[in-house]
Each structure stands twice: as structure tokens, then as C-alpha cells.
Amino acid sequence: MNKKISMIGVPMDLGQNRRGVDMGPSAIRYAGAIERLQELNYDIHDLGDISINRPDQKINYNDGTNLKNLQQVIEANEELAKMVDEEINKSRFPLILGGDHSIAIGSLAGISKHYENLGVIWYDAHGDLNTGETSPSGNIHGMPLAVSLGIGHEKLTNTFGYGQKVKPENIVIIGARSLDPGERELIREKGIKVFTMHEIDRNGMSYVMEQAINYLQNRTDGVHLSLDLDGLDPTEAPGVGTPVLGGMTYRESHLAMEMLADSDILTSAEFVEVNPILDEKNKTANMAVGLMGSLFGEKLK
């Protein structure tokens, strides 16, 4: 793994309804992310947090798009994409801290430019494959994977001045257990590879990760991990805005991270949806940092 990491915080909460997820980056730093990685001999540049332009009033998104806070979400993602792009130009590994999952739009926009075939591991209870048309909530954090496929509102899909960021066959979703009807349709139509909780329960995380890694290794020239903390079970990671029962355990997730570390396929990563207000004594941020430790090679040390 690239030994030079650039950490970027994105205190974004406008992609969903619950306040508090904007404090995710500071909770994750407080849980010791930087020290944990320095311990593993990484050279960390903490670039601090991107500034989020908060709407001064509850803005009316009822403009026919069903996309809440569209303008603010776009602005922040453009900024993020630019920063991520610059760090990759310096041959550094972008490690992005959320913030709600809408920030994956900017991460992938900044990253994908650098690869012919960027792979994406979407570790999440959700598919985040909605559009304004299929979304039951209007929350943009339920849409970033669709947007990155080039599907959705043009202002979102054109982030950083170009369209489709990822090809459907280069995506692997892991841990899905809450998919809306439109998302299921899109998965079927595009043939996206999904390992649901059913596959994890039946075959075990070890088998699932082996499959996922082999699959991506053969077809991609870089892999981004987008890890939504709600992929884990809410009993272990309660500090998330959209918890779904029956998730992956801490142990399973550690194994997944360790197998990714062994494979050495990752070129960027993000940890999103940590909401300290909904958390119990920063448990979820601690979890995120524990997973980072495994992802960046604690076992191999």
C-alpha cells in the first residue's frame, strides 16, 4: 500500500435529514485515526475539513427535482473532487472522512480521472443507487453510486466536468440488506455484482471477500473502498442515521479489511455516515478507526 496518505474531512450533513453526521470527521480524528496510522509508519497529511456552505434557511427543494440541498451538495463535491485529484497527482493515497455518503460523488469524481477502470467496493447496508425519480426520501446520500454510474440529475453526474465515473461491471456491493425497488431494477439492468447479507451468512465473509477481490483484481487498475458504517450491525455501530438490523459484525468487517490489506488492491478509501450525536461514547468512530487499522495493515506489521 502507498505509504503516503492524505486525509480529507468532509463535514457534510445536507445529503440526509439527521443532524450530527457533519461531526463525523472530528469524531473519527478524536478516536485516534492519525496516531493509529502513524503507528504503522504512514506519512499522514491531514488537510483538515472542506467548508460546507450551509443554507441560511430550510431551503425549499420542492423544485421538481426531489433532490434536497442540491446546490450545496454539488458545491462541496466539486471542492472535494479537486482536492482528491490534487493529492493523487502528488502520488498520495486519499483517505476521506465523512460526512454523509453523498460525498462519494466528489471522491469518485476526483479519483476516477486517474484510472481507465476504477473498481469500487461499496460496503453498505444500502445500494445508494437511487435517482430523484426513484428515491423515497429525496436524500442525496441515497444516490451517489447511481450518480457515479452517470445516472441521475445532470448537475450531479457532471461533477468535476465529466460524466460517468465508474462502469457497472467494476462495482461490488457488500452487505446490502435494504434496497428500494428502483435500486433493485438498476442492479438487475446493469448486472452489478452484489453480495447481500444472505451470501455472507451462507458462505462466510472469507469466501465473499475472496470472490470480490478476485473479481476486481482481474478487471480494474485501481480500487476505491467506500465504507458506510451502517454496513455494520447497529448493535455494534449505533452512531448512524439510517441503521438497518442484521448487518455485518465487527469481526467480519475486520476480516474484510485484513483481506483487502493482504490483496494490496486499494488506491483510495472513505469512511462515511458516522454520526456522533446518535452514537454511544464514540463507539462508531472508534469502530471506524479500528477498521482503518486493519485496512492499513496492522496484521502485517
Ligand X SMILES: NC(=[NH2+])NCCC[C@H](N)C(=O)O
Among 29, 68, 101, 254, the residue binding Mn ion under the rule CB under 5 A is 101
The one of ligand X, Mn ion, none whose footprint includes residue 48, by CB under 5 to 8 A per kind, is none
Amino acid, single-letter form, for residue 97 = L
279 is in an annotated binding site: no
Distance CA(206)–CA(68), nearest Å, equals 38
Verify binding: residue 177, ligand X, rule CB under 6 A. no
The Cα–Cα gap between 298 and 36 comes to 9
Site for ligand X in 45-84 (CB under 6 A): none
What angle do the packed helices 250-263 and 283-295 form, to 10 degrees?
30
Cell numbers representing residue 119 in the block: 473498481
- If one asks whether residue 136 binds ligand X (CB under 6 A), the answer comes out as yes
Residue range at the interface with ligand X (CB under 6 A); choices 55-63, 89-97, 111-119, 132-140: 132-140
- Residue 210 binds which one of ligand X, Mn ion, none, with CB within 5 to 8 A depending on kind? none
C-beta of 6 vs 66, nearer to ligand X? 66
Task: Provide, rounded to whole angstroms, the least separation between the CB of residue 170 and ligand X.
Answer: 20
Q: Considering only the stretches 67-75, 106-114, 124-132, 290-298, report the one whose residues sit in contact with ligand X under the rule CB under 6 A.
A: 124-132
Distance CA 148, CA 145 (A): 5
Q: Which of 230, 252, 270, 279 is catalytic?
A: 230
Exactly one of 273, 293, 294, 297 binds ligand X (CB under 6 A); which one? 273
Q: Which of 142, 243, 276, 290 binds ligand X (CB under 6 A)?
A: 142
Task: Pick between residue 149 and residue 213 the one whose CB is nearest to ligand X.
Answer: 149
Give DSSP secondary structure letters for the chain.
--SEEEEEEE---TTSS-TTGGGHHHHHHHTTHHHHHHTTT-EEEEEEEPPP---SS----TTTT--TTHHHHHHHHHHHHHHHHHHHHTT-EEEEEESSGGGHHHHHHHHHTT-SSEEEEEESSB-----TTT-SS--GGG-HHHHHTT-S-HHHHTGGG-S--S-GGGEEEEEE-B--HHHHHHHHHHT-EEEEHHHHHHHHHHHHHHHHHHHHHTT-SEEEEEEEGGGB-TTT----SS--SS-B-HHHHHHHHHHHHHHT-EEEEEEE---GGGSSTTHHHHHHHHHHHHHTTGGG-
- In the bound complex, what is the minimum distance in angstroms from residue 219's beta carbon to Mn ion? 23
**Between residues 265 and 274, which has the closer beta carbon with respect to ligand X?**
274
User: x/- contact string, 225-264, with ligand X (CB under 6 A)?
Assistant: ---x-x-----------x----------------------
**298 binds ligand X, rule: CB under 6 A:** no
Q: Please indicate if the annotation marks 45 as binding a ligand.
A: no
| Binder among 183, 228, 252, 270 for Mn ion (CB under 5 A) | 228
Q: Any catalytic annotation for residue 56?
A: no
| Closest to 236 (Cα-Cα) out of 247, 222, 227 | 247
Which of 13, 22, 85, 128 binds ligand X (CB under 6 A)? It is 128
196 binds ligand X (CB under 6 A): no
Specify whether 126 is catalytic: yes
Active site residue 273: yes
Tell me which residues are annotated as active site: 101, 124, 126, 128, 141, 228, 230, 273
Known binding-site residues for Mn(2+) equal: 101, 124, 126, 128, 228, 230
Q: Which residues bind Mn ion (CB under 5 A)?
A: 101, 124-126, 128, 228, 230
